[in-house]
Chains A and B, each alone.
Chain A
Amino acid sequence: MRHAFGAVLVASLAAALAFLTLPVLAVFLDTSPGALIDSLGEEGALEALRLSFVCSAAALAIIVLVGTPAAWLLATRRFRGRALAITLVELPLVLPPAVAGIGLLAALGPQGLLGGAIGDRLVLTTAGVICALTFVSAPFFLRQAQAAFEAVDRSWLDASRTLGASEALTFLRVAIPAAGPGLLAGFALAWGRALGEFGATLMFAGSFRGVTQTVPLAIYERFGTDFTSALALSAVLIAASAALLASVKLLSGAGWLGGAAR
């Protein structure tokens, strides 16, 4: 019996690995490396890469600056409506990207709720891309950060206060370093989500080369006409995402961030 169960476990993992890695490998194996590199030299491809990087970095900066204190509040305070606040923050996680795009248009588009104040400054602009990326990726960071802060030993926070540190200083010097690995994991998840964002960006910001066309949009535009170019961009996106994941694992594995694990 035990032998048979072991075989089931191994077979399951093998199937999962094969299915999950095959498409990733195929991107690299379908075309020669030379052709991949050549098609990256195309100007539109580089533009898309630059935009993806700039927009996702800007979105992540906003998410970390606003999301970290917000997650701390959710993790450390008990107040009326807290459960509702948490649910609302998590809602974009389950929202279909098309719905997110429509929602952003309805809220921030020229005819939207806040259209009077914003006008057409966001829609079909680079700022609009950042806006869409922030909307879809923020919950990934917030959720992870809240869990990371909740896992910090309360007695560390109490100790810090009795040792003369205000709550703000405790947050900066104890809570953030202690929650470091969790915050970093949330950061990586959110960045990965932002890099891959497609639907909401397309609907809210459109797909204009050099202005709003990030890598996923560029891949979609090319896949009907220039499959090699689409493959090349996909390969770059895979490499960037893998590098992101690997660096996070390395950083937290090396214990450079201290960490709450005791």
Chain B
Amino acid sequence: MLRVEARARLGALHLDVALEVPPGRCLALAGPSGAGKTSVLRVAAGLLRPEHGRVMCGDAVWLDTERGIDREPERRGCGYVFQDYALFGHMSAWQNVAYPLRGTSRGERRTRAQELLERFGIGELAGARPRTLSGGERQRVALARALAREPRALLLDEPLSALDARTRAAAGRELAGVLGAAGVPALLVTHDFTEAALLGDEVAVLDGGRILQRGAASQLAAEPASPFVADFTGAVVLTGVAHPAAGDVTRIELDGGGTVTALDRATGPVAVSVYPWEIALAPPESHDPGSSRNHLLVDVVSVTAVGNRVRVGLAAPQPLTAEVSDAAVRELGLQTGARAVASWKAAATRVLPLAHHTVSKTSS
């Protein structure tokens, strides 16, 4: 079990975080840049000393500011994969991997490094200098190096962000396997919720130095605790004022116009969230309410194909996004400047208190 508690003032950021990760599990710390994600990793590794904090790994106390304990980074045994991989440019791939191996002969270290590189499928690149390697190859060398000394915890800083989109999916699957096999607590940092959902057994959303919500990725997406989390997980977020209405529903007058119905109860200023794939589009003159209770007259502001789906940017007048099939786009003749009716079910509408919204997204 890896436990990290830290309170620190880092420039404009107030870091105040407490988390624990069981062995063999991966916690993904997700949040925008400047949220303090990397600082949490640096505290765990001993590269940053918070004003107040405790770091424990198993029975070992790595940091306890109360008791004046602060173990040096080299004595903590963390496998740290840096954002740009931080491979030593003056060493070959195998020398990088052999770097943490000490107390054995050069021959033995070379053999061990070669084995590790083979395990990551890049044995033939042992003699190559980092600058000649591709992003994916560098990532594997960095992982092999971090695992070479059998670390007690793994810390990964945006492990996929330096890769191009094509390599990222494969590298992500491979990394998920490595994390599972390592059997140690893993703490991973990412600004991308999809990546967090892919690699983390659990996701903690961090913003402004605090963990806003923690849980399984699917749970965060289904029941975001705040508008920020909803927005971060990819939902559309609209703001308005809620009033209880007849039939045990809540009606929300949206800022700028339009009304939305939800089953969640709330009063006063709120944010409303709905996922783009729950929004259907129909011609503006259609009066068939269908089974959806929410209808907004919208202007189409953008049409972008993403795979076999199409993301349609809308103004209602608050911005929202619908994700529909390309068949629907052709049928409705959706193009920039067209009008349409966006509709979704009341049950798909989540109402979130606005209190947390003061934790803004521009905390960097």
Known contacts A164-B100, A164-B149, A166-B74, A159 near B86 by CB under 8 Å: yes
Which of A156, A177, A257, A261 counts the most B-chain CB atoms under 10 A from its CB? Answer: A156
Known contacts A155-B84, A161-B47, A162-B73, A257 near B149 by CB under 8 Å: no
Cβ-based interface call for A78 (8 A) = no
Cβ-based interface call for B15 (8 A) = no
A-B contacts, 26 listed (Cβ < 8 Å): A158-B42, A158-B45, A158-B47, A158-B82, A159-B88, A161-B46, A161-B72, A161-B74, A162-B47, A162-B73, A162-B76, A162-B79, A162-B80, A163-B74, A163-B99, A164-B75, A164-B77, A164-B102, A165-B74, A174-B88, A178-B90, A258-B90, A258-B91, A259-B90, A260-B89, A262-B131
Known contacts A178-B89, A261-B89, A166 near B72 by CB under 8 Å: yes
Q: Which residues of B contact A221 (CB under 8 A)?
A: none
Residues 62-73 of chain B, each 1 if its beta carbon lies under 8 Å from chain A, else 0: 000000000011
Cβ-based interface call for A101 (8 A) = no
Cα–Cα, bound, A56→B88 (Å): 33
**Complex interface residues of chain B between 86 and 102 (CB less than 8 A to chain A):** 86, 88-91, 99-100, 102
Q: Which residues of B contact A156 (CB under 8 A)?
A: 86, 88-89
Residues 50-68 of chain B, each 1 if its beta carbon lies under 8 Å from chain A, else 0: 0000000000000000000
Q: Which residues of B contact A160 (CB under 8 A)?
A: 88, 99
Cβ-based interface call for B145 (8 A) = yes
**Are B100 and A163 closer than 8 Å at their CB atoms?**
yes
Q: Which residues of A contact B146 (CB under 8 A)?
A: 163
Cβ-based interface call for B78 (8 A) = yes
Closest to B84 in A: A155
Given contacts A159-B86, A161-B47, A164-B75, 17 further A-B contacts (CB under 8 A): A155-B84, A158-B47, A158-B73, A158-B80, A160-B88, A160-B99, A161-B73, A163-B100, A164-B77, A164-B100, A164-B102, A164-B149, A165-B74, A165-B100, A173-B99, A178-B88, A258-B90
Residues of B within 8 A of A (CB-CB), count:
31
Cα–Cα, bound, A166→B72 (Å): 8
Cα–Cα, bound, A160→B89 (Å): 13
Cα–Cα, bound, A177→B148 (Å): 22
B196 to chain A, nearest CB (A): 22
Cβ-based interface call for A153 (8 A) = yes
Q: Which residues of B contact A (CB under 8 A)?
A: 42, 45-47, 72-80, 82-84, 86, 88-91, 99-100, 102, 130-131, 145-146, 148-149, 155
Q: Which residues of A contact B47 (CB under 8 A)?
A: 158, 161-162
Cβ-based interface call for A180 (8 A) = yes
Known contacts A164-B102, A259-B89, A261-B89, A155 near B82 by CB under 8 Å: yes
Which of A153, A161, A163 counts the most B-chain CB atoms under 10 A from its CB? Answer: A163
Q: Which residues of B contact A258 (CB under 8 A)?
A: 89-91
B97 to chain A, nearest CB (A): 10
Cα–Cα, bound, A177→B95 (Å): 14
Q: Which residues of A contact B73 (CB under 8 A)?
A: 158, 161-162
**Are A159 and B89 closer than 8 Å at their CB atoms?**
no
Cα–Cα, bound, A130→B80 (Å): 47
**Are B82 and A159 closer than 8 Å at their CB atoms?**
yes
B109 to chain A, nearest CB (A): 13
B149 to chain A, nearest CB (A): 6
Q: Which residues of A contact B46 (CB under 8 A)?
A: 161-162
**Are A162 and B45 closer than 8 Å at their CB atoms?**
yes
Q: Which residues of A contact B86 (CB under 8 A)?
A: 153, 155-156, 158-159
Complex A-B, nearest 3 residue pairs according to Cβ-Cβ distance, in ascending order: A258-B90, A163-B100, A161-B73
Q: Which residues of B contact A165 (CB under 8 A)?
A: 74, 99-100
A206 to chain B, nearest CB (A): 45
A84 to chain B, nearest CB (A): 25
Cα–Cα, bound, A262→B78 (Å): 25
Closest to B131 in A: A262
